[in-house]
Amino acid sequence: MRFTVAELSESNLRHNVSQIKKFAPNSSIVAMVKANAYGHGIEKYWRILRSEYVEYLGFAFVDEALEVRQMGDDGKMMVLVNAQEDEIEKYIEYNIEPTISSFEILHLFSEKARQANKTVKAHLFIDTGMHRDGIHPVDTLKFTSVAQNLPNLELIGICSHLSTADDDIDFAREQMELFIKTIKKIEETGFKFKYKHLSNSAGLVNIPCKECNLVRPGISLHGIMSSNELAEKMYLKPVLSLKSRVQLVKQVNKGETVGYSKKFIADKDTNVAVVPIGYGDGLFRSLTNRMQCLINGKRYKQIGTICMDECMFDIGNDYVKIGDEVVIIGKQGNDEITVYELSNLAGTIPYEITTLITQRVPRLLV
């Protein structure tokens, strides 16, 4: 096996699910595991989540859901991005519930389900202000009226998405009020929804929806939030550690260069640990000459351009040998490198750091 691996803590994942349940005690869970469980590895995740009695697994695209179906999962699944016409048969054949954001797709689901002699269970997506997915609130009465009269289609849920639950609570509150107002207007006609869902991870903490009975945590499952402060509010534990090992130790003399394009020139004699992880594994090239690693409990600075397959760290005159563990994300000794540290250095968000860890990095459940 490669030196570079992503270790996944099963106990931390279970802990995070239990914390989510504490923040939403009256709601069932849609565990959002899109994008390969935010880069953590869905094949390692789904059985654990089902054993924790999550009601739904949630995805962005139907092919993601289909992949897990083919792994053997037969539980409820939901897809949040509006379906494409040529995907609809997959939803119907494999009993995957869509969220619907257009009248055209609504009609197509009904027609194709009728042809297959099956019934599609679907969720109405309302656009409450993010302007990405959903039906405009003024069109929802017409939408539900049309849906009730279509064959082979059952509208069981209604949902929307909070765009600022982690940084602008006032706007998130406006979205929630519009969501609840729209539901009440629909229900005054006699139409009832089995499921109502709005809250993402940040919404669970900052603006819980009392009228809802489903929540859609994503990044919080993995022990991460948009900020460490939010993660600490929920008492989450990070699931993923990204590790490698020293592949070579090289002597570099003063004035010599390290890596492509001469991005590092040694100002003194030193030694370099070569580690087999690079941007081909998802380690951002923009972290060149900025990030650090942990070896034997001590921090070492990355030097020279991060390559596709390798990167280098200045270890000075310390005793470091081939095979020593290198921590890129995670704990070693009394120190820890977090996704927040790397995302700040890279000028991005924590989600992107884990999601872009590529498939060639083995995921190990520990």
Summarize pLDDT for 264-285 with one digit per residue, the tens.
999 999 999 999 999 999 999 9
Residues 6 or more apart from 303 whose CB is under 8 A from it?
258, 259, 264, 272, 289, 312, 313, 314
The per-residue pLDDT for 120 is: 97
CATH 3.30.420.40 fits 240-337, yes or no: no
Alpha helices in 61-139 (DSSP H): 62-71, 88-93, 103-116
The per-residue pLDDT for 276 is: 98
Average confidence (pLDDT) over 63-74: 97
Length of the chain: 366
Longest Cα–Cα distance of the chain, Å, equals 79
In whole angstroms, give the CA distance from residue 169 to residue 156.
28
In whole angstroms, give the CA distance from residue 257 to residue 251.
11
Q: Judge whether 121 counts as a catalytic residue.
A: no
Q: List the domain boundaries for the chain.
A: 10-229, 240-337
CA distance to 75, 159, 209, 257, 279, per residue, from 197 (Å): 18, 5, 8, 55, 37
Q: For 171-190, how does the pLDDT look when each residue is reduced to its tens digit (9 = 90+)? A: 999 999 999 999 999 999 99
Q: For 216-252, how does the pLDDT look when each residue is reduced to its tens digit (9 = 90+)? A: 999 999 999 999 999 999 999 999 999 999 999 999 9
Confidence of residue 114 (pLDDT cuts 50, 70, 90): very high
Percent helix, percent strand, percent coil in the chain, to nearest 5:
35, 25, 40
Q: For 32-68, how does the pLDDT look when each residue is reduced to its tens digit (9 = 90+)? A: 999 999 999 999 999 999 999 999 999 999 999 999 9
Q: Judge whether 185 counts as a catalytic residue.
A: no
Average confidence (pLDDT) over 110-134: 96
Q: Decide if pLDDT at 354 tops 90.
A: yes
Q: What amino acid is encoded at 299 in this protein?
A: R
Average confidence (pLDDT) over 119-147: 96
The per-residue pLDDT for 1 is: 78
CATH class as words, domain 10-229: alpha beta
* SS3 state of residue 257: strand
The share of the chain scoring above pLDDT 90, in percent, equals 99
Of the candidates 118, 142, 235, 260, the residue annotated as catalytic is: 260
The per-residue pLDDT for 117 is: 97
pTM, two decimal places: 0.94
Of the candidates 34, 44, 112, 121, the residue annotated as catalytic is: 34
Average confidence (pLDDT) over 197-218: 95
The per-residue pLDDT for 115 is: 97
Quick one: which of 73, 63, 7 has its CA closest to 40?
7
10-229 and 240-337 have identical folds: no
